[in-house]
């Protein structure tokens, strides 16, 4: 009997999972592979902020699904509305459903609003191609309506990867277009990029300030209406465009799924298996445990155990972690089908790169003796990471086309 394997989501986790499953199971005629996502392309979300300044980047950061899959893989475009792990069915918005024997959930995350009054209603978010285009349009319209004396007020809430790079991109657009815009980056913590290395935080702050981004840390948004942000301090800030990048939460599609989860993000073990042994999950959609059990380790886990024996409990919600986990997924599904013990995956932190307009800052890059650096080396490294990913899921032709725009 054919084993139906279904992968949900075409982000980094889903694309890496498909790639590794095709590699492991490609010639297995007893297996059928179906990939479901709401768009018929893979979107490089970690580059999405660049669309705010330059719409032509769109071609380079959206990869059509047919460029990724082999002929044997079925692709279904559809919005997943629910997952029934008892019936082993996926509900789709068009009132149809798809059955599975093994399921891999890679639905990513959505923006969290933390119950802040009026925030969801009034703020723009950045989680998709449409979101990036909407921000771009709103920024341009606000700049058109503004004057040198009364510049457009653009507020970005949340100074993590999304907020920092969005604020940097808007500031770079302002310089290029000579547009009358004030850019603010608002963060509730004491520092931008909370939880990261101090030297790295300082280098990013300097770059943002060089680009005239007004950084407000220790600043908590408590309510929002259609033109004003109210702060916990009692102060108010007027805005023309408000972008919220303050955190992530799980997708609604997981709301009814009978799986252990927190805010719709599903818990998995280090094998990427959930509580249900027919369901795997990875990427932002999952809280992927990093354990230290005695078991076969993946190559990356062995390396991580050497370089960082105190690795934390859960992998971070990043593109890098989703890609790494997706690479291991194929092997674990193949092992499961053969009745073998699954390997344990551990996230390997290969370093972090953050862009501020055309510049980049790198930190903790594996094999590089300098902790934090910027300049052409960091910029080239950032391009190389996207190029390596495009080469893996598509091929060298796409990389050649994309390189000059990256
Ligand atoms: C502006 C920005 C900059 C970032 N910069 C970095 C960075 O520099 N480095 C880094 O490592 N990370 C970065 N990140 C984070 C990174 O993009 C995410 O961690 C990563 O995308 C997670 O991958 P994923 O596969 O889990 O989810 P996603 O990439 O979000 O993919 C989810 C997929 O599921 C599909 N989907 C969602 N819901 C449904 C549904 N109901 N039905 C059907 N399909 C659905 C989506 O269309 C998508 O294909 C950045 C994020 C943003 C927004």
Look at residue 347 and tell me if it is in a domain: no
Looking at the structure of the chain, the number of domains it has is 3
Q: CA 116, CA 355: separation in Å to the nearest integer?
A: 28
Side-chain half-sphere of 192: how many Cα atoms within 13 Å? 30
Q: What is the pLDDT along the chain (406 residues), one digit of tens a residue?
A: 899 999 999 999 999 999 999 999 988 899 999 999 999 999 999 999 999 999 999 999 999 999 999 999 999 999 999 999 999 999 999 889 999 999 999 999 999 999 999 999 999 999 999 999 999 999 999 999 999 999 999 999 999 999 999 999 999 999 999 999 999 999 999 999 999 999 999 999 999 999 999 999 999 999 999 999 999 999 999 999 999 999 999 999 999 999 999 999 999 999 999 999 999 999 999 999 887 555 555 555 555 555 444 445 889 999 999 999 999 999 999 999 999 999 999 998 899 999 999 999 999 998 888 999 999 999 999 999 999 999 999 988 888 777 766 6
What's CA 66's distance to the chain center, in Å?
A: 22
| Predicted local distance difference test score (pLDDT) of residue 303 | 52
Q: Which residue has the tokens 């059990």?
A: 293
Assess whether the C-beta atom of 283 lies below 6 angstroms from ligand 1: yes
Residues 48 and 78 occupy one common structural domain: yes
- With a 6 Å cutoff on the Cβ, whether 82 touches ligand 1 is no
Residues 135 and 224 occupy one common structural domain: yes
CA of 108 to the centre of ligand 1 (A): 5
Name the residue at shortest CA distance from atom 14 of ligand 1: 46
Pair (142, 158) in one structural domain = yes
Could you tell me the two tokens for 379? Answer: 């910029």
Using the mean position of ligand 1's atoms as its centre, give its distance from the Cα of residue 287 in Å: 14
Same domain, 123 and 213: yes
What's the confidence (pLDDT) of residue 27? 83
DSSP-derived pairing of the beta strands 152-157 and 181-186: parallel
One domain, residues 273 and 230: no
Instruction: Give the residue carrying structure tokens 């790198």.
Output: 362
Closest residue by CA, ligand 1 atom 49: 10
pLDDT at 304: 52
Q: What residues make up the domain containing 294?
A: 3-109+250-338
- Residue 216 covered by a domain: yes
Tokens of 209: 């300030």
* Ligand 1 site, residue 322, Cβ cutoff 6 A: yes
pTM of the predicted structure, to 2 decimals: 0.94
Q: What is the pLDDT of residues 100-138, one digit of tens each?
A: 999 999 999 999 999 999 999 999 999 999 999 999 999
Cβ count within 10 A of residue 345: 30
In a domain, 345, yes or no: no
Domain match, 84 and 20 both? yes
Measured CA to CA in angstroms, residue 398 lies from 52, 280, 358, 393 at distances of 22, 30, 21, 10
Residue 362 lies in a domain: yes
Q: What is the pLDDT, as a whole number, of residue 311?
A: 45
- The widest CA-to-CA distance across the chain, in whole angstroms, is 72
Give the model's pLDDT for residue 299: 57
Q: Are 34 and 91 within one domain?
A: yes
Q: Please work out whether the CB of residue 50 comes within 6 Å of at least one atom of ligand 1.
A: no
Is position 346 within any domain? no
Question: Among the atoms of ligand 1, which is closest to the Cα of residue 245?
Answer: 53
Kindly report the protein residue whose alpha carbon is nearest to atom 6 of ligand 1. Answer: 46
pLDDT of residue 405: 67
Measured distance CA(40)–CA(46) in Å, rounded:
18
Question: Which domain CATH number covers 59?
Answer: 3.50.50.60
The answer to whether residue 21 sits within a structural domain is yes
pLDDT score of 302 = 52
DSSP of 26-54, one letter per residue?
TT-TTEEEEEEESSSEEE-GGGGGGGGT-
The residues that bridge with 273 in the sheet, in sequence order, are: 280
Instruction: Name the domain boundary from 217, 247, 277.
Output: 247
């Amino acid at each position: 009997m054919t084993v139906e394997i279904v992968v949900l989501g075409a982000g980094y986790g889903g694309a890496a999972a498909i790639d590794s499953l095709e590699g492991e199971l490609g010639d297995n005629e007893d297996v059928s592979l179906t990939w479901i996502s709401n768009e018929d392309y893979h979107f490089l979300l970690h580059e999405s902020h660049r669309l705010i300044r330059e719409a032509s980047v769109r071609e380079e950061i959206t990869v059509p699904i047919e460029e990724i899959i082999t002929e044997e893989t079925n692709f279904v475009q559809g919005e997943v509305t629910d997952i029934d792990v008892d019936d082993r069915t996926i509900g789709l918005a068009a009132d149809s459903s798809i059955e599975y024997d093994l399921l891999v959930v890679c639905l990513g995350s959505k923006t969290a609003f933390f119950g802040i009054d009026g925030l969801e209603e009034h703020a723009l978010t950045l989680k998709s191609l449409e979101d990036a285009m909407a921000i771009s349009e709103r920024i341009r319209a606000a700049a058109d309506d503004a004057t040198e004396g009364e510049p457009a007020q653009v507020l970005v809430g949340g100074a993590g990867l999304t907020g920092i790079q969005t604020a940097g991109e808007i500031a770079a657009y302002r310089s290029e277009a000579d547009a009358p815009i004030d850019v603010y980056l608002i963060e509730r913590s004491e520092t931008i990029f909370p939880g990261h290395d101090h030297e790295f935080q300082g280098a990013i702050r300097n770059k943002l300030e060089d680009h005239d981004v007004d950084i407000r840390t220790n600043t908590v948004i408590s309510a929002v209406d259609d033109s004003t942000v109210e702060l916990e301090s009692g102060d108010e800030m007027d805005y023309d465009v408000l972008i919220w990048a303050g955190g992530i939460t799980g997708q609604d599609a997981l709301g009814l799924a009978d799986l252990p989860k927190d805010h719709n993000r599903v818990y998995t073990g280090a094998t990427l298996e959930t509580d249900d042994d027919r369901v795997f999950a990875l990427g932002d959609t999952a809280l992927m445990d990093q354990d230290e059990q005695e078991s076969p380790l993946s190559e990356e886990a062995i390396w991580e155990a050497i370089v960082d024996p105190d690795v934390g409990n859960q992998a971070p919600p990043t593109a890098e972690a989703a890609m790494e986990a997706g690479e291991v997924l194929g092997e674990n599904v193949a092992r499961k089908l053969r009745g073998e013990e699954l390997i344990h995956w551990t996230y390997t932190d290969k370093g972090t790169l953050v862009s501020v307009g055309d510049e980049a800052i790198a930190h903790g890059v594996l094999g590089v003796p300098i902790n934090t650096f910027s300049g052409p080396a960091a910029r080239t490294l950032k391009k190389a990471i996207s190029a390596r990913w495009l080469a893996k899921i598509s091929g060298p032709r796409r990389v050649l086309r994309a390189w000059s725009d990256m």
